[in-house]
Amino acid sequence: MRLRSEAVLAPLGLRPRHLVALTVLRHFGGSTQQALATTLAMDGTNIVGLLNELEAEKLIERRRSTEDRRRHVVQLTEAGAEQLAKAESALAEVDEEVLGALDASQRETLYNLLQLAATGTGASCPASMLE
C-alpha cells in the first residue's frame, strides 16, 4: 500500500511527509513553524526544509506572526488545498484497489486494529475485534 500510495502522490509532486504537513495545516487552519515541528515530531532544520519545498510549489505561505515578529505562521494556500484534495482522491482510489475485497465493516476493523498496533495498545484489543 505504501509503494502504491507513493506512486500516485509522485505525479502530484508530493511525498508522504508533504501530505501530512498539508493535512495538519488544513486541520488547524494554519500553525506556527514551531508548533508544526512539534506536531510532526520534526526538528527545526527538517521542518524548514519541508516548508521550503511546499512554499516553492506555492502550496503554503509563511508570514511573520503579528503577535510575535520572531515567529512564522504557516498557512495552506488555495493551491495547497486543491493539491491536497487531489492527493486524497488518488489515495482513496489506492485504498479501494488494495482493500477492495473487504466490506466497510472489515475495513473499519482493520483500521482499528492497525491503530491499536501503532499505539502499542494491541494487548488490550477486545476479542470481538479479532472475529
Q: Which of 92, 87, 127 is nearest to 107 (CA)?
A: 92
Amino acid (one-letter) located at 44: G
Is 40:20 a contact under the CB 8 Å cutoff? yes
Measured in residues, the chain has a length of 131
Considering the domain architecture, whether residues 81 and 128 belong to the same structural domain is answered as no
Q: What's the total number of domains in the chain?
A: 2
pLDDT string in tens for the chain (131-residue length): 889 999 999 999 999 999 999 999 999 998 989 899 999 999 988 999 999 999 999 999 999 878 887 788 999 999 999 999 999 999 999 999 999 999 999 999 998 998 899 887 544 444 444 34
Considering the domain architecture, whether residues 67 and 116 belong to the same structural domain is answered as no
Considering the domain architecture, whether residues 88 and 106 belong to the same structural domain is answered as no
Considering the domain architecture, whether residues 111 and 79 belong to the same structural domain is answered as no
- Report d(CA 40, CA 33) in Å as an integer: 10
As given in the structure block, the three cell numbers for residue 27 are: 486541520
Range of the domain at 109: 102-131
